[in-house]
Amino acid sequence: MITLMAAFVLVLQIAMVGQRWLVTNIRVFAAQSFLLAGIANTIAYFNHAPHLYIAAFLTFALKAVVLPIVLERLVKRVDIGQEIAPIVNVPLSLLISGGLTTVGYIVAASFHHPEESASPASLGRNTLAVAVSLFLIGFFMMISRRKAIMQVLALLSLENGLFLAAISLTYGMPLIVELGIFFDLLVAVMVLGILVYRIQETFDSMDVTKLSRLRG
Amino acid sequence: MNVILPALAQLSLFLIISPLVTGVIRTMKARFQTRRGPSIWQPYLDLHKLLRKGMIIPDTASWLFSATPYVVFLTAAMVSLMIPMVATDAPLSLFGGVLAVVYLLALGRFFLALAGLDTGTSFGGLGSSREMTISAIAEPAMMVAIFTVAIAANSTNLSEVAKSAVGQSWRFLAPSQMLAFGALFIVLIAETGRIPVDNPATHLELTMIHEAMILEYSGPYLALIEWGASLKQLVLMTLLVNTFVPFGLSPGWNVSGIATGLGFYLLKLLIICCLIVLVETTNAKMRLFRVPELLAVAFILGALALISTFLF
Amino acid sequence: MLLFAILAIPLAAGAMSFAARNRRVMEAINLAGFTALFLLAAALAAQVLRAGSVSMWNGFLAADSLSALVVLLTAFVALACSVYAVGYFREDERNHVFEANVRGAAAISSLRKYYSLTPLFVFAMLLVALANNLGVMWVAIEATTLASVFLISFYGRATSIEAAWKYAMIGGVGLSMALFGTILTYYSAHHVLETETLAGLNWSVLVLNAAQFDKTTMKLAFILILLGYGTKAGIAPMHTWKPDAYSEAPVPVAAMLAAAVLNCALYGLIRFYVLTTRCLGPQFASQLLIIFGLLSVGVAVPFVLVQKSFRRLLAYSSIDHGGIMILALAFGGALGALGMLLHLTFHSITKPLLFFCAGNVEQHLKTDLFRRAKGGLIHSMPVSAPIFLMATLAVTGIPPFSLFQSEFTILRAGFGGTLLWPPILLIILLVVIFIGFLVHIAKLVLGADPGLPPADSCPWKKYSLIGLASVVVILGFWLPGPLFELIRNAAQVVGGER
Amino acid sequence: MNALAGYFFFGGLLSYAMGAIASLITGRSGRLARVLGCGFALAGALLETVSSWVALFAASDAHWEIPAGVPFLIYSFRLDALSAYFNLILSLLAVAISIYSFGYLRPLDEKRTVGVLGFFYNLSLLSLTAVFTASNAFFFLIAWEVMALAAYCLITFEHRQETTRQAGVLFFVMSHAGTGCLLIGFLLLNSLSGSLDFSSFAATSSKLTGAWQAAVFLLFLAGFGVKAGVIPLHIWLPEAHPAAPSNISALMSGIVIKTGIYGLARVLFEFLGVPPLWAGTIVLAVGVVSALLGVLYALMEHDLKRLLAYHSIENIGIILIGFGASLMFITLGHPRLAAIALIAGLFHTLNHAVFKCLLFLGAGSVLHGTHTRNMEKLGGLIRRMPQTAFFFLVGAIAISGLPPLNGFVSEWLTYQALLAGFGTTEKLTRVLFPVAGSLLALTAALAATCFVKAFGITFLALPRSKEADDAQECGFSMLTGMGLLAAVCVALGLGATSFLPVFDGITEHLMGVRMSGELVAAGGWVLTSGSARGGTVSTAGIAAMFVILSALPALLWLLWGRKGHRHIEPTWDCGLPGLTAENEYTAFAFSKPLRMIFAALYQPRREIQAEYEVSPYYPTAIRFDSEIESPFEERLYGPLQKKILAIATRMRGIQAGSIHAYLAYIFVTLIVLLLFGVRP
**Termini Cα distance of chain D:** 70
Judge whether B4 is closer than 8 Å to chain D, CB to CB.
no
**Chain-centroid distance, C-alpha C32:** 22
Alpha-carbon distance C248 to B144, whole Å? Answer: 71
Please state the ipTM of this predicted complex. 0.92
Q: Where are the domains of chain C?
A: 293-498
pLDDT at A116 over 50: no
Task: Please judge whether D657 and A212 are an interchain contact, meaning their C-beta atoms are less than 8 angstroms apart.
Answer: yes
Task: Look at A203 and C401; give whichever has higher pLDDT.
Answer: C401
D149-180: burial string, b at 16+ Cβ within 10 Å, e else: bbbbbbbbbebeeeebbbbbbbbbbbbbbbbb
Tell me which residues of chain C, numbers 388 to 417, contact chain A at a CB-CB cutoff of 8 Å.
none
pLDDT at D413 over 60: yes
pLDDT tens-place string over residues C360-388:
999 999 888 989 888 889 999 999 999 99
Task: Please judge whether A216 and C303 are an interchain contact, meaning their C-beta atoms are less than 8 angstroms apart.
Answer: yes
At residue D426, the 3 state secondary structure works out as coil
A155-164: burial string, b at 16+ Cβ within 10 Å, e else: bbbbbbbbbb
Residue A215: which of D657, D660, D675 has the nearest Cβ?
D657
Average pLDDT over residues D572-598: 86
Q: How near does any CA of chain C get to the CA of D284, in Å?
A: 28
pLDDT, residue D626, reads 80
Chain D CB contacts of A139 below 8 Å: 663, 667, 670
pLDDT at A154 over 60: yes
pLDDT tens-place string over residues D486-530:
999 999 999 999 999 999 999 999 998 998 888 888 788 889 888
Q: Helix axis angle, D304-332 relative to D406-421, nearest 10°?
A: 30
Judge whether D678 is closer than 8 Å to chain C, CB to CB.
yes
Task: Return all residues near A91 (Cβ < 8 A) that are at least 6 apart.
Answer: none
Q: Chain D residue with minimal CA distance to C429?
A: D180
Average pLDDT over residues D239-251: 93
| Reported confidence tier of residue A114, pLDDT bands at 50, 70, 90 | very low
Alpha carbon separation from C467 to C63, C353, C399, C462 (Å, rounded): 29, 9, 20, 9
pLDDT at B225 over 90: yes
Residue A103: which of D656, D660, D671 has the nearest Cβ?
D671
Q: How near does any CA of chain C get to the CA of A210, in Å?
A: 9
Window from A67-81, B79-93, B143-157, C135-149 with minimum mean pLDDT: A67-81
Task: Please judge whether B110 and D545 are an interchain contact, meaning their C-beta atoms are less than 8 angstroms apart.
Answer: no
Tell me which residues of chain B, numbers 134 to 153, contact chain D at a CB-CB cutoff of 8 Å.
135-144, 147-148, 150-151
**Contact C/B (≥3 CB pairs under 8 Å):** no
Task: Return all residues near C108 (Cβ < 8 A) that are at least 6 apart.
Answer: C22, C23
| Number of residues assigned to chain B | 312
Q: How near does any CA of chain A get to the CA of C460, in Å?
A: 31
pLDDT at B196 over 90: no
pLDDT, residue A171, reads 74
What's the mean pLDDT when you consider all of chain D?
91
Task: Please judge whether C173 and A155 are an interchain contact, meaning their C-beta atoms are less than 8 angstroms apart.
Answer: yes
Task: Look at C211 and C100; give whichever has higher pLDDT.
Answer: C211
Judge whether B281 is closer than 8 Å to chain D, CB to CB.
no
Average pLDDT over residues D42-48: 96
Average pLDDT over residues B9-34: 92
Task: Please judge whether A211 and C165 are an interchain contact, meaning their C-beta atoms are less than 8 angstroms apart.
Answer: yes
Task: Look at D613 and B169; give whichever has higher pLDDT.
Answer: D613
Task: Please judge whether D673 and C288 are an interchain contact, meaning their C-beta atoms are less than 8 angstroms apart.
Answer: yes
| Chains touching A by CB (3 or more pairs below 8 Å) | C, D
Residue A174: which of C142, C200, C303 has the nearest Cβ?
C200
Chain D CB contacts of B109 below 8 Å: 448
pLDDT at A119 over 80: no
Task: Please judge whether D141 and C399 are an interchain contact, meaning their C-beta atoms are less than 8 angstroms apart.
Answer: yes
pLDDT, residue B1, reads 46
| Chains touching C by CB (3 or more pairs below 8 Å) | A, D
Across the strands, what pairs with D566? B55
pLDDT at C247 over 50: yes
Task: Return all residues near D144 (Cβ < 8 A) that are at least 6 apart.
Answer: D127, D131, D179, D182, D259
pLDDT at B289 over 70: yes
pLDDT, residue A113, reads 55
What's the mean pLDDT when you consider all of chain C?
91
Judge whether A135 is closer than 8 Å to chain C, CB to CB.
yes
| Reported confidence tier of residue C446, pLDDT bands at 50, 70, 90 | very high
Under 8 Å between Cβ of C53 and C481 = no
Judge whether D663 is closer than 8 Å to chain C, CB to CB.
yes
Q: Chain C residue with minimal CA distance to A182?
A: C139
Average pLDDT over residues D533-546: 89
* CA quadruple B23, B26, B31, B32: dihedral sign: positive
Average pLDDT over residues C481-486: 93
| Number of residues assigned to chain D | 680
Judge whether A12 is closer than 8 Å to chain C, CB to CB.
no
Reading phi first (left if > 0) and then psi (alpha if -120 to 50, else beta), residue A83 is in: beta
pLDDT at A216 over 50: yes
Task: Look at A2 and D293; give whichever has higher pLDDT.
Answer: D293
Picking from B143, B295, B309 by the largest number of D CB atoms within 10 A of its own CB, the best residue to mutate is B143
**Termini Cα distance of chain B:** 44
Q: Chain A residue with minimal CA distance to C299?
A: A216
pLDDT at C492 over 80: yes
Q: Where are the domains of chain B?
A: 4-311
Instruction: List the one residue out of A138, A97, A130 whose CA is nearest residue A111.
Output: A130
Residue C158: which of A124, A175, A202 has the nearest Cβ?
A202
Please return the burial class of D31, using the count of CB atoms within 10 Å of its CB with bins 0-12, 13-18 and 19+: middle
Reply yes or no: is the peptide bond before residue D232 cis, omega within 30 of 0.
yes
Chain D CB contacts of B147 below 8 Å: 419, 422, 434, 437-438
Average pLDDT over residues B231-249: 89
pLDDT at D168 over 70: yes
Contacts across the B-D interface (CB distance below 8 Å): 280
pTM of the predicted protein model: 0.94
CB atoms within 10 A of CB B307: 17
Q: Chain B residue with minimal CA distance to D567?
A: B56
| Reported confidence tier of residue A121, pLDDT bands at 50, 70, 90 | very low
